[in-house]
Amino acid sequence: MQKTILSWGFFALAVISFAPTAEAQKKEPKSTTTVHSSNVSWGNHQYMNIDVDSSTTPPQIIATYKSDALYNMTISQGRLTSLYINGKLIPADSFYQYDGLVKRIIDQMKRDSVQAIRDREQAGRDKEQAERDEAQAVRDKQQAERDQEQALRDKKQAENDAEQAMQDKIQAERDAKQAARDKVQAEKEAIDAKVEAERDARQALADRKQAIRDRQQAQQDAEQAIRDKKQAELDMKQAILDKKQAEEDRALLKSLLTDVVKEGLAPDEKSIVSLTLDGTVFFVNGKKQSDELQKKFAEKYVRKEGYGFYIHGKIMQVGQMH
């Protein structure tokens, strides 16, 4: 079952409510070699930090949490080996209450490892692209130099041609000055017309290419608008489903609290400060209930494997647990 808005609030607060104090760290000094570190932050200055101590065999996970309380947890081979809460050592027979948290810590490390691999691969691709860009820049520079050299040759040739034309003009003027002037004027007008025609042709080609690009961009914009609309519709449907699920979970939790009071496990609902119910355990205010009551409540409220109810103070979680 998908977690509702209610259960997500519990998940965020539960994960960030553990962190070690400086005093607890002084009580357990270690020379650690960190091969992995993960930091996850939330609002109100709450955070989670995960380190791996490779100086031990097998390596140990050292998890740090900070919220209203300060916690330090050491995990070896997927199990808690030590737990301090505000500098106070927690007995091992209470570790089972933190199994879900241990799993989330290990999952966070796996996600960080996957992201690190992706980052290294992306860095390699960026380096290759930079090398390709650098090679292209060299080629562009070489081409620019060749173009500049060709322009100089063209200029020199033009100067030579002009000089030859002048000589021809002088010779023609000697033969017939008026005919030479008419010929020069006709050639100049022909050249100007040719240059103008070529310039117009280039501009027309550029205009056609730009028009094609504009049409393609307009089509892409229209397609993106359609995709955005569809996504908005899907988001709205999901929000409705989440709201409905949250309402159902709140009603189910209310019924559970009512039954706890009816069974005499608490004088009233306000006095229920902690509760754990799933397919295997049933605790009310830190007290483990009988197997008969656990089975009775589980048959009524636990919908399927992994489903459960968790209350700690004002923090409540209902739904599929991971």
pLDDT in tens, 44-55: 557 788 888 888
- Inform me whether the pLDDT recorded for 15 exceeds 70: no
Instruction: Please answer whether residues 12 and 66 qualify as being in contact, where contact means their C-beta atoms are separated by less than 8 angstroms.
Output: no
Work out the percent of the chain whose per-residue pLDDT is above 90: 44
Average pLDDT on 173-199 reads 75
Report the predicted TM-score, pTM, of the whole model to 2 decimal places.
0.31
Least confident of 10-24, 199-213, 239-253: 10-24
If pLDDT is split at 50, 70 and 90, which confidence band does 106 have?
Answer: confident
- Inform me whether the pLDDT recorded for 116 exceeds 70: yes
- The H or E element spanning position 80 is strand 79-85
Tokens 């997500």 correspond to 8
Q: How far is the C-alpha of 119 from the C-alpha of 110, rounded, in Å?
A: 14
For residue 189, which amino acid is it? E
Q: How far is the C-alpha of 69 from the C-alpha of 17, rounded, in Å?
A: 6
Tokens 């009580």 correspond to 27
Q: What pLDDT does residue 39 have?
A: 65
- Inform me whether the pLDDT recorded for 278 exceeds 70: yes
Q: Name the phi and psi angles at 102, rounded to 5.
A: -60, -45
| 3-state class (DSSP) for residue 229 | helix
Least confident of 168-172, 207-211, 242-246: 168-172
